[in-house]
Amino acid sequence: MAEFVQLLVSGLATGAIYALAAMGFTLLWQTSQTINFAQGEFVMLPAFIMLSAIKLFGLPLYAAFGVSLLVSALLLGFGFKRLLVDPMIRHGVLPLVIATIALGIFLKEGVKLVYGAEALPFPEALPQGIWRFASVSVTVNDIGVLLLVFAMVLALQGFLSRTTTGRAMQAVAQNPDTARILGIDVPRMITYTFLVNAALVSVAALLITPVYLAKFDNGESIGLIAFIAAIVGGFNQIRGALVGGLLIGVIDNLSGAYISAAYREAFPLLLLIAVILFRPQGLLGRAEERRV
């Protein structure tokens, strides 16, 4: 029982980090029909930006995180939208998807070229240590991750539902044609979601890289899991992406411990297949209307 709770908590913590990437993924889809297959690399890159800021300027980790937040906003937010999404979306969703796949490969290989193929150590973002409650022990890091992610989710939901700008962003996601008719600055709202995504992937990088170490191909698994989490939760719901991320983190951890460590990566995919078969709109999703 104690082991189960430990696995549950650490699964939730990892899942919460996946959820950050999955929520960003969902946001981009909602507002701009961008399916970002470079999302995993978007989590990988900020880790290297932070490492560079630490090495080049001797910054402490949190200052380096600030730098990476700015650089990510510029490159993965603004630059991504202007240089890749805006020119490609005119040709349709699929060409844009292919372009994001290309971008992912470019980022991965670019990082490999500059930083090499070795996994680099990454400083811990949160205090370490173990808390014991009766026979159950959980790491301070896992609890910290969970608290931090939930604070971010609350802040994001609060921004989207309690501010006029946030509601205008929702409006663009729900009905862009009408948003335009009301004089809502649709391109600006879309840019905001790209900036929010840049912030989400930066935080995800800060939290996950101490576990995975900084490696050029980290994005492969993170991107895949974020994608699965988004679909499992319901592609059009931020809440869904959160639930999807948490669920996959837990399933991954429990199946690895109790069923088969060798096949643990298959279980999230089984979940994906089950959801697609039995609840194609996702756990929290609503069926999407196809407008012509």
Partner 1 sequence: MATDSILTLAGVVAGYGKLTVLNGVDLRVAEGSITTMIGPNGAGKSTVLKTVFGLLRPTAGEIRFRGQAIAGLSQRALLSLGLAYVPQGRNLFPELTVRHNLELGGITLGDRKRLERRIDAVMGRFPRLLERADAQASTLSGGEQKMLEIGRALLLEPTLLLIDEPSIGLAPKLVGEVFAILRELRESGVTILMVEQNAKAALAVSDDALVLEQGCLAFAAPAAETLEDPKVHALFLGGGLEDGAGGNSAQAE
Alpha-helix residue ranges (DSSP H) falling in the chain: 2-32, 39-57, 61-72, 86-89, 93-115, 140-162, 164-174, 176-181, 186-212, 218-233, 238-258, 266-278
Cβ nearer to partner 1, comparing 55 with 286: 286
Q: In angstroms, what is the minimal distance from the CB of 238 to partner 1?
A: 11
**Number of residues in the chain:** 292
Q: Which of residues 211-270 bind partner 1 (CB under 8 A)?
A: none
Q: Which long-range contacts (CB under 8 A, 24 or more apart) does 167-171 make?
A: 169/31, 169/193
Q: In angstroms, what is the minimal distance from the CB of 114 to partner 1?
A: 43
Cβ nearer to partner 1, comparing 13 with 190: 190
Cβ nearer to partner 1, comparing 60 with 158: 158
Among the listed residues 40, 4, 16, the one whose alpha carbon sits nearest the alpha carbon of residue 244: 16
Q: Which long-range contacts (CB under 8 A, 24 or more apart) does 274-278 make?
A: 275/231, 275/232, 276/231
Q: What sign for the dihedral angle of Cα 68, 223, 209, 156?
A: positive
Phi and psi, residue 175, nearest 5° = -165, 80
Regarding 167 and contact with partner 1 (CB under 8 A), the answer is yes
Q: Which of residues 67-96 bind partner 1 (CB under 8 A)?
A: none
Among the listed residues 114, 118, 113, the one whose alpha carbon sits nearest the alpha carbon of residue 213: 118
Cβ nearer to partner 1, comparing 19 with 173: 173
Segment contacting partner 1 by CB under 8 A, of 65-73, 116-124, 162-170, 210-218 = 162-170
Q: Which of residues 169-198 bind partner 1 (CB under 8 A)?
A: 170-171, 174-175, 177-185
Q: In angstroms, what is the minimal distance from the CB of 91 to partner 1?
A: 15
Q: In angstroms, what is the minimal distance from the CB of 27 to partner 1?
A: 14
Site string for partner 1, 119-148 (x = CB under 8 A): ------------------------------
Binding-site member from 71, 168, 206, 222 for partner 1 (CB under 8 A) = 168
Point out which residues bind partner 1 (CB under 8 A). Answer: 164, 167-168, 170-171, 174-175, 177-185
